[in-house]
């Protein structure tokens, strides 16, 4: 198996290769003067099983085009199979046509990757709100892994939380809270989130309903897939503080961290905020490399 990392995920590809006791392949990427990308694979890929890792963060359009170029080149050079690993799958959340004429981006991205020669697909904690399962978006075999066990292990070793309650900040995040809770041998629950989004707006206002949870003197550990603006977790953290929570810890898989997100959540009372390296960031303390390597082995 040959592991190749696109320019958005080279350190992660190196870590995945290391987990598999090998070195990552060598991909050369340069730019032509007009801004186009030049791509060259320095390994013989003919009849090889190749894994291409490329996360779609910060410049998702550029990253996906590079991934398509890589995949198509691998097919052209005779790779036997091409497993595409996209740790953070941008475009996943637009999985329905909410208003007439909108692109269903998740389906478009899946079709593009398939048509470029991808033979199987892997992503991590992909939040397809309405479809639920990434296998419903692709025609090729597609799997959604979770980083929540790794995040839970980190929390166990570093947070030392007192009588923790693990919380999904909305109902969909209840599944992730359950995984983290198992690692911490703790209780878990999920809040109810209401998003107010009007036509023409890309961001929305968040309101959180905590139900009847008791937090006086306890620590809250949040588990969510994404921190984007930080609005969800800031509202959830404020609600916990009102209920008398002692410390608030936050775990997330994808630290998108739009401007001011960390500040917003800290101002709401969070003591520690930890994410993974699906998106490199100042809070990326946990690597998803072991999760990806284990999936590639199975």
**Residues annotated as catalytic (active site), given as ranges:** 193
Q: Residue 256 CB, nearest distance to ligand R5P (Å)?
A: 7
How many Å apart are CA 84 and CA 72, to the nearest integer?
12
Per-residue tokens: 241:
């503080």
List 3, 16, 51, 226, residue binding ligand R5P (CB under 6 A): 226
Q: Which residues contact 185 (CB under 8 A, 6 or more apart)?
A: none
Q: Is 76 or 171 the residue whose CB approaches ligand R5P more closely?
A: 171
Q: Is 66 or 95 the residue whose CB approaches ligand R5P more closely?
A: 95
List 230, 248, 274, 275, residue binding ligand R5P (CB under 6 A): 230
Q: How far is CA 91 from CA 105, 108, 132, 134, in A?
A: 5, 9, 14, 12
First and final C-alpha spacing in the chain: 13
Q: What does the radius of gyration of the chain's CA atoms come to, in whole angstroms? A: 20
Q: Is 110 or 128 the residue whose CB approaches ligand R5P more closely?
A: 128
Q: Which of 226, 236, 231, 148 is nearest to 192 (CA)?
A: 236
Q: Is 15 or 272 the residue whose CB approaches ligand R5P more closely?
A: 272
Cβ neighbours, 10 Å, residue 19? 18
Residue list 150-209, contact with ligand R5P (CB under 6 A): 169-170, 172-173, 206
Binding window for ligand R5P (CB under 6 A); candidates: 82-90, 139-147, 212-220, 228-236:
228-236
227 forms part of the interface with ligand R5P (CB under 6 A): yes
Q: Residue 231 CB, nearest distance to ligand R5P (Å)?
A: 4
Eight-state DSSP code of residue 136: G
Q: Is 68 or 274 the residue whose CB approaches ligand R5P more closely?
A: 274
Phi, psi of 191 (to 5 degrees): -80, 175
Binding window for ligand R5P (CB under 6 A); candidates: 53-61, 183-191, 222-230, 282-290:
222-230
User: Which residue has 């006791």 as its token pair?
Assistant: 21
225 forms part of the interface with ligand R5P (CB under 6 A): yes
231 forms part of the interface with ligand R5P (CB under 6 A): yes
Cβ neighbours, 10 Å, residue 269? 17
168, burial (CB in 10 Å: exposed 0-12, middle 13-18, buried 19+): buried
Q: Is 228 or 284 the residue whose CB approaches ligand R5P more closely?
A: 228
Longest dimension (CA), the chain: 61
Per-residue tokens: 27:
């991909």
Residue list 92-131, contact with ligand R5P (CB under 6 A): 127
Residue list 245-274, contact with ligand R5P (CB under 6 A): none
Q: Residue 112 CB, nearest distance to ligand R5P (Å)?
A: 23
Binding window for ligand R5P (CB under 6 A); candidates: 18-26, 115-123, 149-157, 230-238:
230-238
List 125, 150, 183, 224, residue binding ligand R5P (CB under 6 A): 224
Q: Which of 146, 155, 127 is nearest to 220 (CA)?
A: 155
List 123, 232, 284, 287, residue binding ligand R5P (CB under 6 A): 232
Which residues would be at the binding site for ligand R5P (CB under 6 A)?
127, 169-170, 172-173, 206, 224-232
């Amino acid at each position: 198996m040959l592991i190749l990392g696109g320019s958005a995920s080279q350190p992660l590809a190196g870590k995945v290769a290391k987990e598999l006791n090998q070195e990552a392949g060598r991909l050369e990427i340069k730019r032509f003067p007009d801004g186009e990308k030049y791509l060259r694979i320095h390994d013989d890929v003919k009849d090889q099983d190749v894994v291409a890792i490329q996360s779609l963060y910060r410049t998702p359009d550029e990253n996906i085009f590079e991934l398509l170029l890589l995949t198509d080149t691998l097919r052209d050079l005779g790779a036997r199979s091409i497993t595409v690993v996209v740790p953070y799958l941008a475009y996943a959340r637009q999985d329905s046509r909410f208003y007439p004429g909108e692109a269903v981006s998740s389906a478009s991205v899946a079709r593009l990757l398939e048509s470029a020669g991808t033979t199987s697909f892997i992503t991590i904690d992909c939040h397809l709100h309405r479809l639920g399962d990434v296998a419903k978006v692709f025609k090729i075999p597609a799997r959604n892994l979770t980083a929540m066990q790794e995040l839970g292990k980190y929390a166990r070793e570093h947070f030392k939380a007192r009588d923790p309650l693990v919380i999904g900040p909305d109902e969909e995040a209840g599944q992730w809270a359950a995984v983290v809770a198992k690692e911490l041998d703790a209780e878990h629950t999920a809040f109810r989130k209401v998003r107010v989004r009007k036509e023409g707006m890309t961001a929305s206002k968040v309101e959180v309903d905590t139900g009847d949870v008791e937090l006086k003197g306890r620590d809250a550990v949040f588990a969510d897939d994404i921190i984007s603006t930080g609005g969800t977790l800031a509202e959830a953290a404020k609600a916990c503080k009102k209920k008398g929570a002692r410390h608030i810890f936050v775990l997330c898989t994808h630290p998108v961290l739009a401007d001011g997100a960390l500040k917003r959540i800290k101002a709401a009372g969070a003591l520690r905020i930890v994410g993974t390296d699906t998106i490199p960031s100042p809070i990326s303390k946990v690597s998803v490399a072991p999760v990806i390597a284990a999936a590639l082995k199975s």
